[in-house]
Amino acid sequence: MKRKRISRRQRSHILYGYLMIAPLTAGLGIFYFYPFFKVFYDSFHVVGAFNKRSWAGLSNYAAMFRDPVMWSTLWNTVRYVIVIVPATLALSILVAALLNTGIKGRSVFRVIYFIPAITMSTAISMIWRWIFNSDFGILNYVLSKFGIPTVQWLSDPRTAWITISIVAVWMNVGYEMIILLAGMQGISRTYYESASLDGAGKLQQFRLITLPLLTPTIFFVLITTLISTFQIFDVIYMMINSKSLAKEASQSIVLYFYRNAFEYSKKGYASAIAIFLFLIIMIITAFQMKMQNKWVNYDQ
């Protein structure tokens, strides 16, 4: 009797288990797993009008390696990563550390700093585009008061990527700061108390206690900003129009993918670019996982 009841419960676990995961699994299957393989398939084809496919072997990949725009796009993206990721990390650690000093009004500061993180990047890009406008923008006017000549923030190919990086960092800091601050608040007070008794100053405490114990959180923020910056799209799409002189100099991999797929209707070629981006992100993830053991301190 008892054995039968247990097995009935087991059976209902199996039945309900499959039923309850079925909708999600089916949805992910149709909209994520099938597309995953489809991208590989398409990258070996030329996708013409009415989505007619003809076998193209490796020619999309060969074209990609010969395409100078692809290389400059890759370089642009790497450049964004090199600037945006460290700047985001440094500023968000700075703000989080200052908010963690026990000053008054911390929750008000936290709320204000977080506002850009819930504002749509489309709207943010529009206002920054207006601020950076070289003729009527407020920024050039303020700078002119200090004797700085007009800067072509967005139309000069040499400066457009820097302007975009500034906006991207401005958008990132609040979000990452919240995560870092939560990490800092997880560090036990007793460490600071004993360090303080030993005569360690605030800066020393930050360097010797906060930073080492925060490495898991810093590592998490590093990976997520790295991966999201490699996919930067919204800000560039909104701030640089397709007739701009700075179009090529500011274009990222995802934007070039988007243009090939939906503006130039080169879907096969776009698929090859998508796979290239996927491989880069896989390599970063693998590399990070390896480095993680070297400098992340997990025991608290």
Partner 1 sequence: MNNKVKKKNTGHIIVYIVLLSGVLITLLPFLWMLLTSLKTQSESIRVPPVIFPAKPVFSNYLDVFRDVPFGRMYINTVISSIVTVAAQLLLCSMAAYAFAKLKFPGREVIFVTLLAVLMVPSSFFILPQYLIVQKLKLLNTIPALFLPNLFSAFGTFLLRQFFMSLPSDLEDAAALDGCNPFTTYWRIMLPLAKPGLVSLGILTLRFAWNDLMWPLIVNTSQEKMTLTAGLAYMQGQYHTNYPEMMAGAMMAILPLLILFAVFQKQFIEGIALTGIKG
- CA diameter of the chain: 92
**48 is an interface residue for partner 1 by CB under 8 A:** no
Cα 170–261–51 angle (5° rounding)?
Answer: 155
**61 is an interface residue for partner 1 by CB under 8 A:** no
- Whole-angstrom Cα distance, residue 210 to residue 61? 46
Smallest distance from the beta carbon of 17 to partner 1, in angstroms? Answer: 3
**27 is an interface residue for partner 1 by CB under 8 A:** yes
Smallest distance from the beta carbon of 266 to partner 1, in angstroms? Answer: 11
CB 95 within 8 A of CB 175: no
Torsion sign over Cα 216, 208, 170, 250: negative
**113 is an interface residue for partner 1 by CB under 8 A:** yes
The residue count for binding partner 1 (CB under 8 A) is: 98
**99 is an interface residue for partner 1 by CB under 8 A:** yes
Binding segment (CB under 8 A) for partner 1, from list 22-30, 62-70, 71-79, 147-155: 22-30
**256 is an interface residue for partner 1 by CB under 8 A:** no
Residues 144-163 that bind partner 1 (CB under 8 A): none
* Orientation of helix 211-230 relative to helix 267-295, angle to 10°: 170
Residue of the chain from 116, 205, 244, 247 that contacts partner 1 (CB under 8 A): 116
**174 is an interface residue for partner 1 by CB under 8 A:** yes
Binding segment (CB under 8 A) for partner 1, from list 32-40, 63-71, 148-156, 287-295: 32-40
Give burial (CB, 10 Å; 0-12/13-18/19+) of 88: buried
Torsion sign over Cα 157, 158, 161, 167: negative
**39 is an interface residue for partner 1 by CB under 8 A:** yes
Tokens of 189: 């007070």
- Whole-angstrom Cα distance, residue 226 to residue 87? 12
**117 is an interface residue for partner 1 by CB under 8 A:** yes
Task: Choose between 115 and 197: whose C-beta lies nearer to partner 1.
Answer: 115
Outline where DSSP puts E strands in the chain.
Answer: 45-47, 53-55
Binding segment (CB under 8 A) for partner 1, from list 59-67, 149-157, 192-200, 257-265: 257-265
**94 is an interface residue for partner 1 by CB under 8 A:** yes
Tokens of 259: 């243009």
Residue of the chain from 154, 181, 222, 272 that contacts partner 1 (CB under 8 A): 181
